[in-house]
Chain A
Amino acid sequence: MSEPEPSVVDIHSEEFLRALMKRQLSLSLRCGATFFSVLLLLPLANYFLPELMGTEIWGFTLSWFLLGVAAFPFVWVIAWVFIRRSMALEEEEARMAGKSGK
């Protein structure tokens, strides 16, 4: 009884390169976009909603809390997500090329 061999891609082919770059760029852009849309929304929130952003929360203004404290854990979360997914992506790419488990 034999299963069909998993097809191994030629790593020098155009298809492999394109697939590679597309997936990597897509992951980077998605993480980047998530992060930066929040970051870049903050000045707009400050601009158009000054009273809301000035409300006092635990002693800070909401604006100060978001930028001076909460921003850093947010960065950590995005970095963590990206690192895990990009490592998984690399594993998958290596499998596609028939060289997993090294």
Chain B
Amino acid sequence: MYFSFPLALAVDPWILGLSALTVVVTVAMGFWTAGKSKTAGDFFVAGRSVSVGWNSSAISGEYLSAASFMGVAGMVMSKGYDALWYPVCYACGYLFLLLFIAGPLRRFGAYTIPDFAEGRYDSPLFRKIAVIFVLFIGFFYTMPQMKGAGTTLSYIFEAINLPYWVGVAVVGGIITFNVALGGMKGITLIQAVQYWAKMFAISIPIFVLMSVYGFYNLQVAANIPATESSPVERRALPEKAPADAAWISPFGPLTTSAAVKAGVPADEQRPYSLLYTYSLITAIVCGTAGLPHILVRFYTNPDGAAAKKTTMWVMILIGVFYMFPPMFGVMGRNLFPELYGALGVKGPDGIVLRLPVLLNEKYAPLGSILSGITCAGAFAAFMSTFSGLLVSMTGALAHDVYGRMLRPKSTPEQRLRAFKICAVLIGVVSVLLGMQVEQLEINFMVGQAFAIAASSYFPLLFLSAWWRGMTMKGAATGMLVGGMLAVAAISMTSFNDVMKVVDLATFWKSYPLLRILCEQPAIWATPLALVLMVLVSKLTRSEIPSDIRMKMLVLHAPEKLGLKREYIQEQGNAH
């Protein structure tokens, strides 16, 4: 029984109400804590260091963006088995960070990658180059968040046919405004609460849905031809949907799409598909190292031991989370197949929002309530990620470009104004870019951002931490070449498909292998960057920093030996 709106808008009150509540609470929390905190890396709560529990929740919350919340489910629904690589590789990426990057970087003490670039190579120039990539990767990562926002708002206001771009503009505008005014700085408390909100929002509706319609394994089994399991309710698939056998098997629609666009016949697609799979794995696992806002969180523990325990908990928290979106994907396929007919806001990317409404058929308004909960979770996801990105990108632009390059002598008031202007600038660009990508899948876009990070930041961090022979020129060359080539390759495929700047259809048909390698460049761009870094470093070996042994010691020696303090003192003496 719905309350009647005076205007009879037929906008579901539960969905609207819960979503609006999330937005208001998030914005309010941001402003309430803005006065109390100093920086995005602030980790003191009530004057003490943050506990492992709070911190691991916060890192997990920050890690789970719109891609994790909506995108994975949407992709599993539309593409099937292959999409499972995404959540697994997101989790593995974090493991990869733990094994190779987190320890050294934490000991070194650089909060951001530009900080690390400058400190490791004693090069302000390199810092500026690193900042370029913060912006590039950042924009590629904001676009899927905007798509999430547009999709969610269009869903809430479906009754009045709210266009996609309005949703993007409204949400993007609110967050930009918020960040410019100093709010939403990603405080530990907020991010921790966001994790549990998202966890609650993804799991409760699924448990209810599964108790009514059948558990996860039975849902999957329904797609196995000649299954032996007991049947669950399935609704008729439209023509556009992939067939059961292709959907449930590896090398399905996701990994063969590039080959299909290049005109490769069906019986020759499998090898291309295998290549695509490996390139995708490389991109996502190595690309996690490039997320600017994640690295900061490694410093929010008081010591190395706590940091490691935190990381273990993060692995558990995000692993548990990631088991749920595919459940939405499978159930969406079985119970809500009408979404296959559309791309964009009415397509599978919205399955997490729409699936719970099914329960209204039997238990109204439970479906609306649960759908409101998932909408709230979606808001939590893209708002927190977008604001985190906006803060890091604005920080890089305002602090590095304005503060150091253009006006090193600026006053604090000028810098603050620069921060606000930069925030608005970046926000506007993100919104404009976000408006262009309605047709692209959320998760796919995140994968592309990761591919660029995998070809630029990952080689930088890995080799800088483990090889003392690196020089600034080597690192810069590898990073620029790998990263820029990855951007170019991706633009030639994903963006060109959507915006059709140049007609490359015949080109791809003649060179299908190139199409695959351009759409998923990590498998060549990452090794290329690594090789270039090594080669050019060897050629410029006279430029290895003179205190390289000390630097490597700081990167690797246990913190209790106090080498970082020694290093800072030496740096102070040298000036």
Query: Are A59 and B220 within 8 A (Cβ)?
Result: yes
Contact between B561 and A21, CB atoms less than 8 A apart: no
- Interchain CA distance A64-B563 in the complex, whole Å: 47
Chain A residue at smallest Cβ distance from B225 = A54
Given A28-B99, A32-B100, is A59 in contact with B277 using a C-beta cutoff of 8 Å? no
By a CB distance below 8 angstroms, the chain B residues around A83 are: 98, 308-309, 311-312
How far, in angstroms, from A12 to B221 measured CA to CA in the complex? 61
* B533 at the A interface (CB under 8 A): no
Contacts of A46 in B (CB 8 A): 250-251
Residues in A neighbouring B312, C-beta threshold 8 A: 76, 79-80, 83
Question: Please, which residues of chain B bring their CB within 8 A of the CB of A50?
Answer: 249-250
Q: A14-B549, A60-B220 are in contact. Are A31 and B84 (CB under 8 A)?
A: no
State in angstroms the CA–CA spacing of A43 and B84 once bound together: 12
Complex CA–CA separation, A79 to B370 (angstroms): 34
* Contact residues in B for A1 (Cβ distance below 8 Å): none
CB of B233 to closest CB in A, whole Å: 15
- Contact-size category for B: 35 or more
Q: Which residues of A contact B560 (CB under 8 A)?
A: 94, 99, 102
> Across the interface, which residues of A come within 8 angstroms of B277, CB to CB?
43
Q: Which of A32, A61, A63, A86 contacts B103 (CB 8 A)?
A: A86
With a cutoff of 8 Å between Cβ atoms, the chain B residues found around residue A25 in the complex are 466
Q: How far is the CA of A24 from the CA of B557 in the complex (A)?
A: 10
Whether B220 and A75, one on each chain, are in contact in the complex, defined by CB atoms closer than 8 angstroms, is no
Residue in A28, A44, A87, A94 whose CB lies within 8 Å of B100: A28
Contact with A along B465-493 (1 / 0, CB 8 A): 01000000000000000000000000000
Q: Chain A at the B interface: mostly helix, strand, loop or mixed?
A: helix
CA distance A50 to B308 in the complex (A): 39
Residue B123 lies at the interface, judged by CB distance under 8 Å to chain A: no
Of A47, A64, A71, the residue contacting B81 (CB under 8 A) is A64
From B309, which residue of chain A is reached at the shortest CB distance?
A: A83
Looking at the complex, which one of B99, B228, B315 makes contact with A31 (CB distance below 8 Å)?
A: B99
CA distance A39 to B277 in the complex (A): 12
Contacts of B163 in A (CB 8 A): none
Interface residues on A, range: 35 or more
Q: Within the assembled complex, what's the spacing in Å between the Cα atoms of A72 and B99?
A: 16
The smallest C-beta distance from A13 to any residue of chain B, in angstroms, reads 9
State which residues 65-102 of A face B: CB under 8 Å.
67-69, 71-73, 75-76, 78-80, 82-83, 86-87, 90-91, 93-94, 97, 99, 102
Chain B residue at smallest Cβ distance from A23: B556
CB distance from A101 to the nearest CB of B (A): 9
| 15 A-B contacts (beta carbon < 8 Å) | A21-B552, A56-B227, A56-B229, A59-B221, A61-B81, A63-B81, A68-B88, A71-B88, A72-B323, A76-B316, A79-B315, A80-B312, A83-B309, A93-B561, A102-B560
- B interface with A by C-beta (< 8 Å): 81, 84-85, 88, 91-92, 95-96, 98-100, 103, 215-218, 220-221, 224, 227-229, 248-251, 270, 274, 277-278, 281, 304-305, 308-309, 311-312, 315-316, 319-320, 322-323, 326, 466, 549-550, 552-553, 556-558, 560-561, 563
Residues of A within 8 A of B (CB): 11-12, 14, 17, 20-21, 24-25, 28, 31-32, 35, 39-40, 43-44, 46-47, 50, 53-54, 56, 58-61, 63-64, 67-69, 71-73, 75-76, 78-80, 82-83, 86-87, 90-91, 93-94, 97, 99, 102
- Of all A-B residue pairs in the complex, the 5 with the closest CB atoms, nearest first, are A59-B217, A46-B250, A72-B319, A59-B221, A90-B558
Apart from the given pairs A47-B270, A58-B217, A72-B323, 18 other A-B contacts in the complex at a CB distance below 8 Å: A20-B553, A21-B466, A28-B99, A32-B100, A40-B278, A40-B281, A44-B274, A50-B250, A53-B250, A54-B249, A60-B217, A60-B220, A68-B88, A71-B91, A75-B319, A79-B311, A87-B308, A93-B557
